[in-house]
Structure 1
């Protein structure tokens, strides 16, 4: 059985991330891990989180896919002129700079800038924030993929696939609403870090959920 693990927003919380990686590797001998974005800002250890993800899995039996979140978008935009730097700093960028002890190194910014916005498989769509129905996936606006928010009770058809995202924190998450699962359980706000486990051969929502303390 092939498995995919999707991990919600991390926001500089290296301890929960490392504990979750251990939980995932204890759960199965191999698989794919999709990180849903927002690795930096607000929490104390953004640098350690980025370095961990850049290094990749310790075993060739695992594949890691890191998607871009809106906080990676803010950080890279603050450095390339797309966004106002003060906007990023006011939304957790100060904590990120503190974790680096100065400016974010270019290799780390380049890694963030190059992250994909979307990952799909035969049964699911993985994205940081969401997608707009009525548009083909290839026509989705990057801003929506990183910034869109859903009301709690909203589901959708999503082209017959299950949508897996983070971005909108709530202590009620992880929560599956119809054809959509939100995995942002507010780790950096005192909640937990959440991971959904999917059987790649079966459609629909998570087979089970893993959580570690924030």
Structure 2
């Protein structure tokens, strides 16, 4: 990829801000557009967002990449369970009725956006690794390619798939902690990440005031579905990173400043 790299944070069904943001980015044919995941759920128009992104992928002059978020992963597991473990799928749908509603809508539209999504995206030109959640301190190896990641099975696959959900890690071991299991001393993963796999651009954790800069990571989920903005990070060789955030009424350039320890 020789042009600009535009990376958009968690959309969560917020179609209007997404369309406005893409227009503001003025994406060229040699550029790339990457979504950090969680296109769906929570917001008012998940199916509209998927249709719009599918349209970009099929018809735009630039490359479009969707990184798997925990909500895409949840939908994917639900679809798999419908075929292999119907009882488990029924339990999932009981806890989250939106799964079945979205499945029906996607099927009726003939969209298969989960099929072309990837677990991560590494751009050597701009020296970044894009993923949805974070990297537990116990993750010692990272797949060289998407194909290698997709070939993982069993415990190795489950260990790697924590990158979709990681927020806090155990202060002593660095192990992944499920949301709500962290204590006061357990850090946010990016606070202690040592850069072993390169600079990470991530979503998942909303930072409502501005994008979050850590030593080896940048968080760009600014909570569009929670009343914040929908943010894009643009990388261009030889220039400083730039941010644009589109809210419900206006767009605002963000200055990238460090933020305090994230709260839930």
Do Structure 1 and Structure 2 share a fold, with TM-score over 0.5? yes
CA-based RMSD: 2.9
The aligned counterpart of 1:13 is: 14
The aligned counterpart of 1:116 is: 118
Q: By how many angstroms is 1:29 displaced?
A: 6.6
Distance 1:59 1:37 in 2: 19
SS in 2 for 1:169: coil
Name the structure, 1 or 2, with higher relative contact order (CA <8 Å, separation 6+). Answer: 1
Given the alignment, which residue of 133, 136, 158 partners 2:141?
Answer: 136
CA contact (8 A) 1:175 1:182 kept: yes
TM-score normalised according to structure 2 size: 0.67
1:74 and 1:85, CA in 2 relative to 1: closer, same or farther beyond 3 A?
A: farther
Q: Over alpha carbons, which structure has the higher Rg?
A: 2
Given the alignment, which residue of 162, 177, 189 partners 2:226?
Answer: 189
Q: By how many angstroms is 1:164 displaced?
A: 0.2
Distance 1:195 1:59 in 2: 18
Q: By how many angstroms is 1:90 displaced?
A: 4.8
Q: By how many angstroms is 1:105 displaced?
A: 1.0
The aligned counterpart of 1:164 is: 201
Unaligned segments of structure 2, at least 5 residues:
144-148, 150-156, 169-187, 249-264
Given the alignment, which residue of 247, 251, 258 partners 1:213?
Answer: 247
Map 1:1-214 to 2 at 5 A.
2-25=3-26, 30-56=30-56, 58-60=59-61, 62-81=62-81, 84=89, 87=92, 90=95, 94=98, 97=101, 102-105=104-107, 107-108=110-111, 110-122=112-124, 123-133=127-137, 134-138=139-143, 141-150=159-168, 151=188, 154-159=191-196, 161-200=198-237, 207-214=241-248
- The number of residue pairs the alignment matches comes to 205
TM-score normalised according to structure 1 size: 0.81
Which segment is superposed worse, 163-172 or 148-157?
A: 148-157
Distance 1:65 1:190 in 2: 25
Distance 2:113 2:20 in 1: 23
SS in 2 for 1:104: helix
Q: Which runs of 4+ in 1 moved over 3 A?
A: 82-91, 100-104, 139-142
CA contact (8 A) 1:163 1:179 kept: yes
CA contact (8 A) 1:73 1:113 kept: no
